[in-house]
Amino acid sequence: MDKSQNNTKRLAKNTLLLYFRQILIMLVSLYTVRVVLKVLGEEDYGIYNVVAGIVTMFSFLTSTMASASQRYLAVDLTTGDLTKQKQTFGLILWTYILLIIATVVLAESIAVWFLNAKMTIPDNRLYAANWVLQAAILMFVVNIIATPYLSAVIAHEKMGVYAYVSIFDAVLKLAIVFVLEVMSYDKLILYAVLLLTSSILATSCYILYCRKTFPECKAKLFYDKQQMKEMTAFAWWNMIGTVANLLRSQGINVLLNLFFNPTINAARAIAYQINNAIISFSNNFYTAVKPQIIKSYAAGENERMIHLITSSSRLAFFLVFMLSLPVYLNIDFILKLWLENPPEYACLFSKLVLINILLEVFSMPLVTGLQATGNIKRYQSVISVIYLLNIPISYVLLRCGYPPEITMYVNIALVMISFTPRLLICKKYYSLSIQEYMKSVLLKTLLVTAICYTANYYLLRLFDANTVVNLCISCVAIIFVTGFVILFIGLQNAERQLIANKIKSIIHR
């Protein structure tokens, strides 16, 4: 079996492992959100999400360094130089120590002041909100510690370990739900402390595995001025884009709290639980394909890299579309079945979030190609400016009296506007053919979307989702129709042949 076949087989295996992981996590998440919302109540649930969201805004530091870590570790793995790998990992550890110090200083000053001086929190819940903030800060520090080890796992494409630890973490969160129901202590404080505990245990698993399995993870702290400068420059420009993404998410969350009340935050949190559940499937696919994109570029295989970028963009869209369409068409009944009494605006927020997912699903493989080349300065500068417009535009519209959903309409418009400069920049830095991308990705996904939405909209009239049985029938029918259209219109001949051969091999076994 040649190298290309080995890579394809490993990619398929890793993708399946991550899908299995995500299905279990999604089921646990759907159940735990329902119970947590019921136990905490809308007000406390909204308080937790908006307060923890303040700390989440600092996660641009973690995600920025995670991308840099994965990129440099994956490139070093193609060289086979263990000394170089140890030096890179030692340098990453050194940068994360500085990162922890910066995070704690920023969070304990800015975040604490903002919570107590500016946020709309009922007086009788301010003490609990401060507990939530401190637990969130500690959880964030723990996640920083985990990041270089998780980056090593992904760079080595050990997705089985990533899947198992994630499932273990999901089981811990399920246990938290049962503890919340039986303990009589302040539920909001207890919830925050238990989530911190689960994060510590999951991080310990990554550290123990990596130090036992990967020789470079036993490296001592290492400092090299030139390499640090190169990695810092890459991380800095990557951070610009990450900050823009966080501000348009958590920044809007804070804006909604300033103009409305915590129940609006609760409705938005519900919508983004659905967002996280669905988009995680495409993220799992990207997690599996990202190391191969970077390694293909490092090995000089530019044609294969571009093929991975275009095919993963299209396949990820189809995956997300197949999952989101039945949810979109049945959202009213799903929310009532899931939460019994969903917060006001939860239905509308959820629909708009699903539309936004489909528009943004293309961006990850495109930016991964740029990360592989190391040329991300222009991309992050342009796209970040567009995304950051979400905050001032939304603020002005909210001040003018527009309803809370206007923030999501603004976000959707900006995502659509950003697509043209995104493709132009990718064309410049790794010769992406815009014409071919439009033909094989955008036009095919647009055609499949139009056909599937129209067909399933009328199909749904035959299976009105007013009972669980009808919901199941309608979801299965929608997925079947969508899958049929994707198979015969959305996929390329080689992809259809690959699926046919896989089915034949399964039947043969």
The string of DSSP letters for 170-185 reads HHHHHHHHHHHHH--S
Q: What is the pLDDT of residue 465?
A: 63
354-391 pLDDT per residue, tens: 999 898 888 888 888 888 887 788 888 888 889 889 88
Task: Calculate the dihedral angle through the C-alpha atoms of 126, 100, 375, 430, rounding to the nearest 10 degrees.
Answer: -80
DSSP letter at 218 equals G
The token pair that represents 167 in the structure block = 């499932």
Tally of CB atoms within 10 A around 9? 11
- Average pLDDT on 154-173 reads 83
In this prediction, residue 140 carries a pLDDT of 86
Decide if pLDDT at 475 tops 70: yes
Backbone angles phi, psi at 219, to 5 degrees: -65, 150
In this prediction, residue 83 carries a pLDDT of 80
Q: Which of 314, 326, 278 is nearest to 486 (CA)?
A: 314
Between the alpha carbon of residue 78 and those of residues 1, 73, 93, 246, 289, the distances in Å are: 19, 9, 21, 32, 16
pLDDT at site 394:
92
Closest CA to 408 of 458, 345, 464, 324: 345
Say if residue 488 is exposed, middle or buried (CB neighbours under 10 Å; 0-12, 13-18, 19+).
exposed
Which whole-number Å values give the CA distances from 425 to 374, 375, 430, 466, in the listed order? 13, 10, 9, 48
In this structure, of 56-65, 235-244, 271-280, 459-468, the range with the lowest mean pLDDT score is 56-65
Specify the pLDDT at position 19.
67
**Of 54, 43, 57, 58, nearest in space to 188 by CA:** 43
Report whether pLDDT(72) > 80: no
The confidence score (pLDDT) of residue 490 equals: 85
Q: Region 3-24: what's the mean pLDDT?
A: 64
DSSP at 251: I
Q: Which two tokens stand for residue 136?
A: 């969130």
507 pLDDT tier (thresholds 50, 70, 90): low
Residue 1 pLDDT:
46
> Is residue 410 pLDDT above 90, yes or no?
yes
pLDDT for position 417: 92
C-alpha to C-alpha distances, 307 to 428, 433, 435, nearest whole angstrom: 17, 11, 14
Arithmetic mean of pLDDT, 192-200: 90
How many Å apart are CA 507 and CA 233, to the nearest integer? 52
Inter-residue contact 48 to 176 (CB < 8 Å): no
Domain ranges within the chain, ordered by starting residue: 1-223
Q: Which of 66-70, 283-287, 355-359 has the highest mean pLDDT?
A: 355-359
Encoded amino acid at 272, one letter: Y
- Residue 26 scores a pLDDT above 60: yes
- Point out the least confidently predicted range of 17-26, 214-223, 310-319, 412-421: 17-26
Which of residues 4 and 320 earns the better pLDDT score?
320
User: Per-residue pLDDT tens for 169-182?
Assistant: 888 888 888 888 88
Length of the chain: 509
- Cα Rg of the chain, angstroms: 23
Considering only 28-42, 373-387, 448-462, which range has the smallest mean pLDDT?
28-42
What CA–CA distance (Å, rounded) separates 369 from 375? 9
CA distance to 68, 101, 151, per residue, from 228 (Å): 11, 18, 17
Predicted TM-score (pTM) of the model is: 0.70
For residue 486, give the DSSP letter.
I
Dist. CA 304–CA 292, nearest whole Å: 9
pLDDT at 9: 61
pLDDT, tens only, 43-56? 788 888 778 777 76
Which among 237, 250, 264, 270 has a CA at the least distance from the CA of 391? 250
Q: Tell me the Ramachandran region of residue 115: left when phi exceeds 0, alpha when psi lies from -120 to 50, beta otherwise.
A: alpha
pLDDT at residue 3 greater than cutoff 70? no
Residue 50: CB atoms within 10 Å: 26
Residue 478 CB contacts under 8 Å (≥ 6 apart), including other chains:
325, 326, 329, 456, 459, 460
Of 91-105, 193-207, 319-333, the one with minimum mean pLDDT is 91-105
CB-based contact 488:324 (threshold 8 Å): no
How does 443-481 read in b/e, with b if 16+ C-beta sit within 10 Å? ebbeebbebbeebbeebbeebebeeeebbeebbebbeeb
Query: What pLDDT, in 10s, does the model give residues 123-158?
Result: 888 888 888 888 888 988 888 888 888 888 887 878
Q: What is the percent of the chain with per-residue pLDDT over 90, rounded to a whole number? A: 9
Query: Which has the closest alpha carbon to 158: 96, 282, 70?
Result: 70
DSSP state of 466: S
CA angle centred on 384, ends 379 and 387, rounded to 5°: 130
Average pLDDT, the chain: 81
Q: Is residue 199 within 8 Å of residue 40, measured between CB atoms?
A: no
Check residue 433 and report its DSSP letter: -
